[in-house]
Chain A
Amino acid sequence: LAKTTQPISMDSYEGQEVNITCSHNNIATNDYITWYQQFPSQGPRFIIQGYKTKVTNEVASLFIPADRKSSTLSLPRVSLSDTAVYYCLVGEHTGGFKTIFGAGTRLFVKA
């Protein structure tokens, strides 16, 4: 499983766009990049997954450069309710493959 590195914490203000970058230099050909969000006292929640280029859904966008050694989760116009821990995971994550969580990034959104 590829190791991931993310900032420990980030601060932002309501209405701003937040970009959280994850490094995964040893990503394998079959690996996907997946992001989860965890609010206090809740289990993690799937946000988005991608393999290359750009993926967008109603919650976030995921940018993956051609070399796939990093990825950036983009949250448009954050609100106070986006305060959470965001986990970047790299792996196959299907079938019998395990999902291993790294340290995550604690995002604090201020008014």
Chain B
Amino acid sequence: SAVISQKPSRDICQRGTSLTIQCQVDSQVTMMFWYRQQPGQSLTLIATANQGSEATYESGFVIDKFPISRPNLTFSTLTVSNMSPEDSSIYLCSVRPGLHTYEQYFGPGTRLTVT
């Protein structure tokens, strides 16, 4: 299994500013993902965080808006840039520990409110 922590757990930000969310895993993992979940909705995959290379973004998400870093196998950051109220959501980090592992583990999430 993998234990995931995220910082901050929640934040209230003004529109036009940026917030960086950190994801720390207690062990080295192969795959890391970032999801967004709006209130009462399902999870939407933002991107796959690739170690040592640029993240792979899903349709509707772009690097300029959601830059992602993954400097090593236990850590990643997601930045929400130039925020608007529509970015208010829960952002979740997720990992799949091994290439032959099908279980994914999720962090507790970061609740972001943009005013």
Report whether chain A binds chain B: yes
Show the binding face of A for B, using Cβ within 8 Å: 32, 34, 36, 41-46, 49, 87, 93-96, 98-104
Q: Which residues of chain B come closer than 8 Å to A95, judged between CB atoms?
A: 31, 99-100
Contact across chains for B100 and A44 when beta carbons are under 8 A apart: no
Nearest residue, chain B, Cβ from A44: B106
Nearest residue, chain B, Cβ from A96: B31
Which secondary structure characterizes the binding site on chain A?
A: loop
Contact across chains for A43 and B109 when beta carbons are under 8 A apart: yes
Chosen A-B contacts, 24 in total, with CB atoms closer than 8 Å, are A34-B102, A36-B104, A42-B109, A43-B94, A43-B107, A43-B109, A44-B43, A44-B104, A44-B106, A45-B106, A49-B102, A94-B96, A94-B99, A94-B100, A95-B100, A96-B48, A98-B45, A98-B48, A98-B58, A99-B33, A99-B96, A99-B104, A101-B43, A101-B44
Nearest residue, chain A, Cβ from B35: A101
Q: How far is the CB of A48 from chain B (nearest CB, A)?
A: 10
Q: How far is the CB of A19 from chain B (nearest CB, A)?
A: 21
B residues contacting the other copy or chain, number (CB 8 A): 24
Q: Which residues of chain A come closer than 8 Å to B42, judged between CB atoms?
A: 87, 101-104
Q: Give the A-B contact count at a CB cut-off of 8 A.
A: 57
- 8 Å CB contact of B108 from A32, A42, A103: A42
Q: A102 CA to B43 CA in the complex, in Å? A: 8
Q: A87 CA to B105 CA in the complex, in Å? A: 14
Interface string of B78-109 (1 = CB under 8 A from A): 00000000000000101010011111111111
Q: How far is the CB of B67 from chain A (nearest CB, A)?
A: 19
Contact across chains for B102 and A43 when beta carbons are under 8 A apart: no
- 8 Å CB contact of B103 from A41, A46, A102, A103: A46
Q: Which residues of chain B come closer than 8 Å to A42, judged between CB atoms?
A: 106, 108-109
Q: Which residues of chain A come closer than 8 Å to B102, judged between CB atoms?
A: 32, 34, 49, 93-94
- 8 Å CB contact of A43 from B31, B44, B92: B92
Q: Which residues of chain B come closer than 8 Å to A36, judged between CB atoms?
A: 104
Contact across chains for B45 and A100 when beta carbons are under 8 A apart: yes
Q: A87 CA to B104 CA in the complex, in Å? A: 13
Q: Which residues of chain B come closer than 8 Å to A103, judged between CB atoms?
A: 42
Q: Which residues of chain A come closer than 8 Å to B107, judged between CB atoms?
A: 43
